[in-house]
Structure 1
Amino acid sequence: MQLSPDNRSNNPLDLTKIRVRVSSFLGREDHLSCIRVCRDWFQDFAPLVWHTIDFQKHAAAFAKVTPEVLDKYGGFISQTLNISELGHIQALQHVKVNSIAATTIYLLGNGLYRSMLSDLLRRSHGSITSLTFWCSALQSRMFRGDCYYYVDVSDIFAPFPSSTDPRSNASLGTRLKSLSLTHICLTREGFSSILQYSPLLDELTLERVTVTHHKPGIPLYTGSALRYLSANFAQVWCNDSVDPSEPCLLLHFPLLEKWHLTTLAQLCNRKIDLETLDFSSWCPLLKTITFGSDDTDAMSALLLNSFKDLQSCTLSAKTLAMSTALGLVSHLDSLTTIRITDEAQEATSMQMLSVIVKLCHNLQVLSFESLVCDVEAVEKIRWGCKDLIELRMRFKGLDKPQDIDGCLRKMCVMRRTGGIVVTRPMDMGTISVRVVQHLLQFKKLRTVWLGPKITTSPPPSLDQ
């Protein structure tokens, strides 16, 4: 019997949201079976089967896929990972493979490979949002003492004309939001073109990338909407070894908000006075910094001189010293988030922690998961950051999951009762109760982490 439109709309098996939820519990073989049920199920489950093609895992199987199969399923391919051989490009050579959203590509010097790669990117030019290009040192050429792969920007990033096939979406324009380059060399004009032709670019990762040969006669694009940058200090500040007077790369990113400084190493042939740098002139919105370096002196100098009104800072416990603590305190009026990573030395870390929490009165998030604190030492600190919303730290004697869970439950009970201790007299003065009493001073606290995999978010009503 054929269902009427009204009856069909009330059939729960035809609700896409339900099928999507069910699909999360199914494996690939089950998805393949669901595809064959009916046309609606095909539309819901086929994208799950064909969404990702990882050539490290699926190269042999995908090479056997016929053009007829790609004509039916090629449009569902959204992610292609680890493209590294000519055969991988040839396997994707079909007009229906034109909706790739994310791809990672290993660059080769082979001319045919480059040409077919350009065809693939042109076909998906209107759908690609994430691009990762990388090259190993063995495959790249030597460039001034290091290894890089020369990128022809005009082939890959320039706006493409409409395809000869009417089904292609190549004329829709770039949608690139995330770009990652490793072992790449390109000209300053080419780098500027990448940004200009990628108006939606939000994230940029540069690893061992050289941007060189800047000429004053070529205008640099300074209208990028980029908000997140991951790159080391040298390749951003002094990238061009040909022209020491070249402008800093940061001038391209006036809307930059977050910078992951992977290393702070400077070029061996050029020393930069870190005490005179001011990043705010290029990036006035830069308020979040993540340090991936152990260079305490360089980090301290940058914190004190180069950043203005930081709001969030992440750094390694290995760099905790009086100089870095003073660097953080120099932003005490604006700093709301501090995250400390890696293993910490208890004595030094506690001393620096006491300085930070006493003076940084606007802190809302404090994460110090690597340090195991003595509750007595914590109680002696005069905490000035009373508006903490999230706190992540550990305490000696409170390491078992059941003890941590009991402590958090006790905190919730005491907050409901206005801080009145509801416990047995024999438990007074225990680590658990002392930790709870310490946490109760933070009236706005919502997230507490006291150990691995134990997190709680007390409801707002507990503060009232």
Structure 2
Amino acid sequence: MIDPLIENNPLQIPEIRARVSRLVPLKDAISCVRVSKAWSKDFASFIWCAVDFDIHDTFKDLDSAIVTKHGHNIRSIENIKTQSELNAVLCPTIKNRDVALFSGPFIDAFQHKGVITLVAPIKQVFKPDPESELSSLGFSLLVHFLNLTEWHCYNLPTELFAPIERIETEVTRCCPQLTMINTWMSPQPIIHSLVANAFHGLKRVIFEYSQLSMGVIVALLFHRATLLQVFAFWNNQCSYTERDELPFEGDHFQHSGRAVQLLPRCCPHLKFLEFEGHEMDMDMVEEEKWACRGLEKLRVRIRGLDTKEKIDWTLNLWKEGRQNKDEEDTTLSESHMNEAKDTSIETRVARHLLAFEKLKAVWLGTRTFYT
């Protein structure tokens, strides 16, 4: 076995050691931190990255000085069940604004200004102790996180666990900076109720496309002065789909396509419009200009762009037009499109895309094109 401390050992190179630290098992990483101070610095970040009290049940017994020393490496905390576990990881000396807290049931008021992301269902937030009744006003989990900006408030039941007035009061009082919500696994009535009544000045809203309705669109329009992103993910997957072929996919909201147009027409600050499941009709799109001139990312399907070849042609026209605009020569692009396919669906879509100077990424059913 090669001595890790010899001078010509590759592991003595910090860059290599940092990469290796991400690949070794936890047990080996613990051994590596004992080699030297330099090794300890690289491997400690891996060891402390995630704290799960179902696995690390002795964590709460660690000396507070050790937690203070390494707490800046913590990125996620899971399955907190007692106040002693909470105190062990969220002490005031840990000033990490990137921690994602996957909270467990605890009830005592403890404020931690470093947590900005909360992943917890509504029931858990407002009934943190499963053995007790609904907590009284001011004693939900939200009281712990004054600087919360994102709440992944997924919800399984068909009804809200807490009254909507209660949710609004606690959000307004405890989390004034909360501007992003992810309502994954929530039915349409709950999405509408939360977006319309529980939050003010939302910037980002994520939900499942199958739950899109007129009520949800109206609720989103309540935030038209602040809304930056609407992400309606497709097929239960809160992630992007990249394909080589264009499969047939039904659109339950096709008959109300004009309602979707209200979002880009009425939300001037919208930067990301991601409706992967929706098939826009260009006749409806062209009825009125979109107000979101700063649009940066668009993910929709277009009726008539039903093959990979048509999509590729459309996006190539758009990219060529962008290049010519950057070269201050718009005549060539416009002339090319007019002569080639003046009224084709490809040309109409490309013209529409060229109206947005900051548009950087477009997905129309296959793969994302970037400028």
TM-score by length of 1: 0.63
Does the residue aligned with 1:280 lie in a helix, a strand or coil?
Answer: helix
The residue type paired with residue 43 of structure 1 is Q
> Residues 338 and 367 of structure 1 are in contact (CA less than 8 Å); yes or no, is this contact kept in structure 2?
yes
2:334 matched to 1:429? no
* Aligned match for 1:159, one of 59, 64, 67: 64
Query: For 1:266 and 1:211, how far apart are their aligned partners in 2?
Result: 25
Provide closer, same or farther for how the CA distance between residues 233 and 199 of structure 1 changes in structure 2, counting only shifts above 3 A. same
Does the residue aligned with 1:369 lie in a helix, a strand or coil?
Answer: strand
Deviations for 1:136-158, whole angstroms, at most 9, x for unmatched residues? Answer: xxxxxxxxxxxxx9x677415x5
Q: CA shift at 1:425, angstroms?
A: 3.2
Provide closer, same or farther for how the CA distance between residues 405 and 200 of structure 1 changes in structure 2, counting only shifts above 3 A. same
Paired residue for 2:12? 43
Structure whose residues are more often strand by fraction = 1
Paired residue for 1:358? 265
Provide closer, same or farther for how the CA distance between residues 391 and 221 of structure 1 changes in structure 2, counting only shifts above 3 A. same
Query: For 2:36 and 2:277, how far apart are their aligned partners in 1?
Result: 48
Does the residue aligned with 1:380 lie in a helix, a strand or coil?
Answer: coil
* Aligned match for 2:95, one of 182, 199, 203: 199
Query: For 2:313 and 2:217, how far apart are their aligned partners in 1?
Result: 34
Query: For 2:12 and 2:39, how far apart are their aligned partners in 1?
Result: 10
Provide closer, same or farther for how the CA distance between residues 48 and 389 of structure 1 changes in structure 2, counting only shifts above 3 A. closer
The residue type paired with residue 159 of structure 1 is S
Paired residue for 1:177? 74
Query: For 1:426 and 1:224, how far apart are their aligned partners in 2?
Result: 58
The residue type paired with residue 101 of structure 1 is S
Paired residue for 1:83? none
Q: CA shift at 1:348, angstroms?
A: 5.0
The residue type paired with residue 100 of structure 1 is A
> Residues 389 and 447 of structure 1 are in contact (CA less than 8 Å); yes or no, is this contact kept in structure 2?
yes
Query: For 2:210 and 2:85, how far apart are their aligned partners in 1?
Result: 38
2:359 matched to 1:452? no
Q: CA shift at 1:424, angstroms?
A: 6.4
The residue type paired with residue 313 of structure 1 is V
Provide closer, same or farther for how the CA distance between residues 248 and 295 of structure 1 changes in structure 2, counting only shifts above 3 A. same
The residue type paired with residue 175 of structure 2 is C
Note the residue ranges of structure 2 that are not aligned, 5 or more in a row. 236-250
Paired residue for 2:208? 316
Paired residue for 1:383? 290
Deviations for 1:344-367, whole angstroms, at most 9, x for unmatched residues? Answer: 424256244123223223212111
Query: For 2:282 and 2:310, how far apart are their aligned partners in 1?
Result: 15
Paired residue for 1:237? 126
Query: For 1:348 and 1:77, how far apart are their aligned partners in 2?
Result: 60
The residue type paired with residue 191 of structure 2 is M
The residue type paired with residue 231 of structure 1 is A
The residue type paired with residue 450 of structure 1 is L
Deviations for 1:1-27, whole angstroms, at most 9, x for unmatched residues? Answer: xxxxxxxxxxxxxxxxxxxxxxxxxxx
Rg larger for: 1
TM-score by length of 2: 0.76
Deviations for 1:113-141, whole angstroms, at most 9, x for unmatched residues? Answer: xxxxxxxxxxxxxxx24323446xxxxxx
Query: For 2:143 and 2:59, how far apart are their aligned partners in 1?
Result: 20
Does the residue aligned with 2:207 lie in a helix, a strand or coil?
Answer: strand
Note the residue ranges of structure 1 that are not aligned, 5 or more in a row. 1-31, 79-97, 104-127, 136-148, 162-169, 215-219, 458-464
The residue type paired with residue 356 of structure 2 is F
Does the residue aligned with 2:348 lie in a helix, a strand or coil?
Answer: helix
Paired residue for 1:130? 50
Paired residue for 1:272? 162
Deviations for 1:328-384, whole angstroms, at most 9, x for unmatched residues? Answer: 100111111111111442425624412322322321211112223333343335533
> Residues 159 and 173 of structure 1 are in contact (CA less than 8 Å); yes or no, is this contact kept in structure 2?
no
Tell me how large the CA RMSD over aligned residues is: 3.7
Does the residue aligned with 1:277 lie in a helix, a strand or coil?
Answer: helix
Provide closer, same or farther for how the CA distance between residues 47 and 323 of structure 1 changes in structure 2, counting only shifts above 3 A. closer
* Aligned match for 1:186, one of 71, 75, 82: 82
The residue type paired with residue 245 of structure 1 is S
> Residues 151 and 182 of structure 2 are in contact (CA less than 8 Å); yes or no, is this contact kept in structure 1?
yes
Q: Percent identity?
A: 21
Query: For 2:40 and 2:307, how far apart are their aligned partners in 1?
Result: 46
The residue type paired with residue 98 of structure 2 is D
Does the residue aligned with 1:175 lie in a helix, a strand or coil?
Answer: helix
> Residues 234 and 265 of structure 1 are in contact (CA less than 8 Å); yes or no, is this contact kept in structure 2?
no
Provide closer, same or farther for how the CA distance between residues 392 and 262 of structure 1 changes in structure 2, counting only shifts above 3 A. same
Matches for 1:13-92 after TM superposition, within 5 Å: 39=8, 41-44=10-13, 45-49=16-20, 51-54=22-25, 76=39
